[in-house]
């Protein structure tokens, strides 16, 4: 499938001998006809490798196409592509090219069995994923003054109206009356009031007036700026904290493409949106607040705010009796210490749900590693403060990513499968120009929801 006559070629060849294969890919040099041949591992069947290679090739092709004025040929007839890896490769090419109009940049040649409807269907799907990822990146990269909780809620309304989603926005005064004590407590230090956004997808016939029953439920942390509150962060740690809303951004973005992609499963999401600032009304270390579920919660450290607002979000999702709850958050520094900057941690209380998420991440080409659901550490979360049952800090310097997940699990009833993804590492990458959102998680969520029957 070649759609234009190129001035230069990207030559591709691989032994396709699995993740450790010895294939090579030739990339064209800066002038037409000049080819360099850096060695690449054979891609095998790993979706993550196809996304990475596609991103590099797409970036190169975009630059070369701008120079030559015509699309660059990409010969993929003999690189071991399959139906399962075509999507991840196209995802990478779109990402690298930086545009959904892939044909303007690259003229692709494919094996005959992947041409026609197979290719067009995969490209349409990956364009939808690309749009969702770009939305998540834009929301996460917006600075604190550009995307307050109320402005985030406005963006959610706009997105919902064009995507066939139901939406309910609960603002500060109503939050307190409805018992959302966690969200209210964290947000009260800021002049920008907290907001809870609930979104739902009920299928192609429209959203209806209320969240659908038996949905897959998603909670996304939406701290639009995190100073740490009265437990103030140092300035160097605070600079990137406009990105602490990545969980909410990814969840919202994934939902916007469910109708386009024909998702069959109903979905219900809750996004607690707050600024965590040390204003005169800020919650104090040692204060006890009552969460939506009625649990008394001691705030030991105001910089452990994400789990507090997610507790209310998970509780309201649980009231709808969903088939499962998954939370996503840039929650702990310790998950990055454990897994580095490119791998997210998965904490699954339910083994089957954990397996679903692992398969989804593998198909999406996003690195996800299952961590232990170690209930032996749960006693660290018990509080002896008057009126409190739990505390938001384990009073231990180790195992904090685990205890954070265990804490969230306290607000999901035992009969509901629950899992948590802590993606503090891969959600944002460090660049010479500062933090940059990656959109990690969008493809995993879409893979999860599109495969759920």
**Residues marked as catalytic:** 233, 307
- Write the CB contacts of 114 (distance below 8 Å, at least 6 apart in sequence): 81, 83, 86
CB atoms within 10 A of CB 131: 17
What is each CA distance from 45 to 15, 23, 51, 56, 379, in whole angstroms? 12, 13, 11, 18, 42
What whole-number distance in Å separates Cα of residue 85 and Cα of residue 79? 11
């Amino acid at each position: 499938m070649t759609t234009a006559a190129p001035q230069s070629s990207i030559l591709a060849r691989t032994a396709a001998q699995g993740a450790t294969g010895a294939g090579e890919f030739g990339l064209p040099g800066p002038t037409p006809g000049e080819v360099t041949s850096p060695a690449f591992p054979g891609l095998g069947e790993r979706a993550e490798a196809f996304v990475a290679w596609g991103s590099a090739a797409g970036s190169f092709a975009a630059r070369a196409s701008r120079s030559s004025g015509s699309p660059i040929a990409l010969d993929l007839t003999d690189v071991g592509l399959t139906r399962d890896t075509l999507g991840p490769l196209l995802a990478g090419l779109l990402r690298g090219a930086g545009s959904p109009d892939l044909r303007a940049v690259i003229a692709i040649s494919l094996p005959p069995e992947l041409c026609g409807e197979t290719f067009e269907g995969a490209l349409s799907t990956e364009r939808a994923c690309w749009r969702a990822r770009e939305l998540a990146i834009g929301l996460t990269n917006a600075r604190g003054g550009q995307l307050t909780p109320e402005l985030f809620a406005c963006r959610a309304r706009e997105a919902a109206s064009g995507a066939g989603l139901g939406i309910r926005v609960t603002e500060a005064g109503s939050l307190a009356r409805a018992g959302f004590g966690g969200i209210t407590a964290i947000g009260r230090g800021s002049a920008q009031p907290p907001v809870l956004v609930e979104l739902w997808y009920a299928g192609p016939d429209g959203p209806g007036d209320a969240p659908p029953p038996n949905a897959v439920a998603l909670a996304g942390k939406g701290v639009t700026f995190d100073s740490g509150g009265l437990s103030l962060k140092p300035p160097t740690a605070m600079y990137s904290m406009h990105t602490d809303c990545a969980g909410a951004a990814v969840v919202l973005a994934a939902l916007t493409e469910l109708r386009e992609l024909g998702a069959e499963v109903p979905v219900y999401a809750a996004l607690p949106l707050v600024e965590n600032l040390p204003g005169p009304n800020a919650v104090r270390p040692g204060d006890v607040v009552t969460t939506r579920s009625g649990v008394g919660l001691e705030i030991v450290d105001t910089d452990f705010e994400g789990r507090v607002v997610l507790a209310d979000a998970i509780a309201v999702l649980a009231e709808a009796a969903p088939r499962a709850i998954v939370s996503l958050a840039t929650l702990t520094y310790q998950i990055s210490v454990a897994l580095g900057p490119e791998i997210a941690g998965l904490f699954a209380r339910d083994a089957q749900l954990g397996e679903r998420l692992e398969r989804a991440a593998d198909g999406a080409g996003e690195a996800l590693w299952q961590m232990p659901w170690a209930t032996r550490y749960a006693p660290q979360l018990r509080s002896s403060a008057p009126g409190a049952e739990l505390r938001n800090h384990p009073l231990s310097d180790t195992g904090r990513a685990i205890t954070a997940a265990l804490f969230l699990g306290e607000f999901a009833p035992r009969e509901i499968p629950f899992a948590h993804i802590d993606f503090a590492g891969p959600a944002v990458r460090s660049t010479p120009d500062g933090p940059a959102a990656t959109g990690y998680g969008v493809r995993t969520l879409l893979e999860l929801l599109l495969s759920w029957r």
